[in-house]
Amino acid sequence: MEEKINKILDKLRPFLINDGGNIELVEFKDGVCYLNFTGACRECALNSITLNDGIKEALMNEIPEIIDVKLI
């Protein structure tokens, strides 16, 4: 499962890296994907929008086993 998640995150990372940030998978447990923003994305005021409108949507659309995506 982690490989599937990272494959999708790898498609999204260039956009985050372009803005000085990145995202990492911390854990997948009980249908929940736990992520951590790094770099500029960690303190960005828009990171919740990036998470919900981009990353969460992409992960949940591609991997039906994911029931939620959370930042830690």
The helix (run of H) or strand (run of E) holding residue 47 is helix 47-50
Predicted model pTM: 0.90
pLDDT tens, residue by residue, 4-55: 999 999 999 999 999 999 999 999 999 999 999 999 999 989 888 888 889 9
pLDDT of residue 53: 86
Q: Which residues pair with 33 in a beta bridge?
A: 28, 69
The fold of 2-71 is GMP Synthetase; Chain A, domain 3 (3.30.300)
CA distance 66 to 63: 6
